[in-house]
Amino acid sequence: MEFYYFILSPLSRSVLFTAKILDIKLNLKVVSLLKGEQKSEEYAKINPHSKVPTLVDGDFVLSESRAIMIYLFNKHGKSKDDYLYPKDLKKRAKVDQFLYYSASSFVSALLGYFRIVFTGQRQPTEEEKSKFEGALADLDRIYFQNSNFLFGDKPTLADFDLAATLQQMELIKVDFSKYPRISKFLNAVKKSEFFKAGQQEFKQTAEALQKR
């Protein structure tokens, strides 16, 4: 399976976390967002939205990070992996709830603000800042019931999605200390096996970019 990705894309890293835990060897194909490679005509043939990530499995092509995570789980998950995307109807529905919330609201609130600060083009407006802080405060208030991860002490696909998005915020030095549940989550994430995927490449690429 070919995986078209860019390491500074959190939506690519969440898939890498999934592949690591499911022990899937992906044939990695870098699409540099810094060089604008996602906009090439060649890449548009596999992803007409011109975004990363994209998975190519033979003649089957799939975009949307969360759909890719679920496809990999459905294709390669063994019974020992069930905790990632529980079979129990209601538990699975809660994982889906978070993934839809993330795709429709949470990630856009965070990444919108992230892009403004990271590119340094201008100061974020008060409205952008309060949308960003509101999304983090909601996350801290609504999810995690004294648990390390969103729905318990073992991570699900929803946690992979969240871990990658929050890690991105470290590039703009967001202080998470005022969000106790998020801080606890991040501590657990940093000790987790899944989080080893792509970390060296992430750090090297981020450092090279910051030196530019």
Ligand X SMILES: N[C@@H](CCC(=O)N[C@@H](CS)C(=O)NCC(=O)O)C(=O)O
Structural contact between residues 73 and 81, judged by C-beta atoms closer than 8 angstroms: yes
Binding mask 103-142 for ligand X (x = CB under 6 A): x---------------------------------------
Report how far residue 197's alpha carbon sits from residue 44's, in angstroms, rounded to the nearest whole number. 27
Known active-site residue 9: yes
Distances (CA, A) of 66 to 116, 125, 133, 136, 184: 25, 30, 24, 20, 24
Per the listing, tokens 């890719």 go with: 68
Binding mask 71-110 for ligand X (x = CB under 6 A): --------------------------------x-------
Distances (CA, A) of 56 to 23, 76, 86, 147, 153: 17, 15, 25, 35, 32
Identify residue 30 by its one-letter amino acid code.
V
Report how far residue 25's alpha carbon sits from residue 19's, in angstroms, rounded to the nearest whole number. 7
Q: Does 11 sit near ligand X (CB under 6 A)?
A: yes
Q: How far is the CB of 40 from ligand X (least distance, A)?
A: 11
Beta-strand runs (E) in the chain: 2-5, 27-30, 54-57, 60-63
* Residues contacting residue 146 through CB under 8 Å, at least 6 positions apart: none
Binding mask 152-181 for ligand X (x = CB under 6 A): ------------------------------
Q: How far is the CB of 153 from ligand X (least distance, A)?
A: 26
Which of 1, 26, 52, 116 is in the footprint of ligand X by CB under 6 A?
A: 52
Nearer to ligand X, 65 or 167 (CB): 65
Which of 65, 148, 167, 192 is in the footprint of ligand X by CB under 6 A?
A: 65
Nearer to ligand X, 70 or 150 (CB): 70
Binding site for ligand X (CB under 6 A): 9-11, 33, 38, 50-53, 64-66, 103
Residues labelled catalytic: 9
